Amino acid sequence: MLLHQVALVADTAAISFSAVSKVSAALQKQATRDFTPVWNVRATVDAFETLEDVPIGYWPIIIRDDIEDPNAAGYHTDDNGQPFSLVQAANNWPLTASHECLEMLADPFGNRTVAGAAPPQASGRAAQLERVEYLLELCDPCESDRCAYPLNGIQLSDFITPNFYEPPGQTGARYSFRNHLRNPHEVADGGYLSFGDPISNEWFQIVVENGQAQTVSLGVLNTQGTSLRETIDRMTRGARPGYRVKTAATMAAAAGTGTNRAGAARAETLRKHISQL
């Protein structure tokens, strides 16, 4: 079993390295204790003081205070096709970092799909589909703050289990780690779910707000060289309320610097890529 290596780093003075280290420890504990036994994926999550410090081969989760466009938050791939995530330096950034970390570990390259029946909350044309392809996104169906759970005193994201994609009727099956979902293909209040018609390549998203499920057509997708996940995020994230929306950061300023040639080059490449999003 390959070991995935994730880096958590604040590319902003708004978040202290102490805060990054505490959240990194919580994410490592979540990955080892909660995620690995369910999804059979091993990972390390390490804190780094600067983006230049991140070793080559790590998948960085980068906290920034200048993500003005909400479509730029979340999952991306760099020029070499390697995954990284951008997290807004908002007051509840650890919850978002947990979300991005788990989804990156489960599907590093953003194109993994799972076949199944149409979701029970689908409406309109989507409800008539016999089979659909679900985009594998572990935290989206149970994304809301109400589904979060504390670990080391830090609120982290709930996530679905493989049973989420199985047919209904399994006695005692657990569909999310913290049991916020009671049925396969279900979306909790505040969550969403992306799925496509394998025949027409039309994609849909179910969004549940205030207990009401709405099915939105995303049209026939053309990823234009990006991953399926990144394409859908770009289309939908800006219109979605929730904990990715920018709020005032209140963390202490970070201190200390450090660099290495490979890390500095990687940091420069990532910053250039981010500026072009």
226 neighbors 71 (Cβ within 8 angstroms): no
In this prediction, residues 226-238 reach a mean pLDDT of: 86
Which residues is 206 bridged to in the sheet?
Answer: 193, 215
Q: Is the pLDDT of residue 248 over 70?
A: no
Lowest mean pLDDT among 97-101, 150-154, 262-266: 262-266
- What's the pLDDT band for 128 if we cut at 50, 70, 90? very high
Query: What confidence score (pLDDT) does residue 260 get?
Result: 65
- What's the pLDDT band for 71 if we cut at 50, 70, 90? low
Q: Is the pLDDT of residue 238 over 80?
A: no
Q: 36, 48, 43: which is closest to 259 by C-alpha?
A: 48
- What's the pLDDT band for 262 if we cut at 50, 70, 90? confident
Lowest mean pLDDT among 94-108, 154-168, 250-264: 250-264
Q: Is the pLDDT of residue 213 over 80?
A: yes
218 neighbors 235 (Cβ within 8 angstroms): yes
Q: Is the pLDDT of residue 242 over 60?
A: no
Residues 53, 262: Cα–Cα separation, whole Å? 9
114 neighbors 134 (Cβ within 8 angstroms): yes
Q: Which two tokens stand for residue 190?
A: 């505040």
User: What pairing do the DSSP bridges indicate for beta strands 3-10 and 42-48?
Assistant: parallel
Lowest mean pLDDT among 69-78, 206-215, 239-248: 239-248
Q: Is the pLDDT of residue 87 over 70?
A: yes
* Model confidence pLDDT, tens digit, residues 173-204: 899 999 999 999 999 999 999 999 999 999 99
Residues 9, 21: Cα–Cα separation, whole Å? 9
Residues 42, 28: Cα–Cα separation, whole Å? 10
Q: Is the pLDDT of residue 112 over 90?
A: yes
Lowest mean pLDDT among 16-20, 101-105, 224-228: 224-228
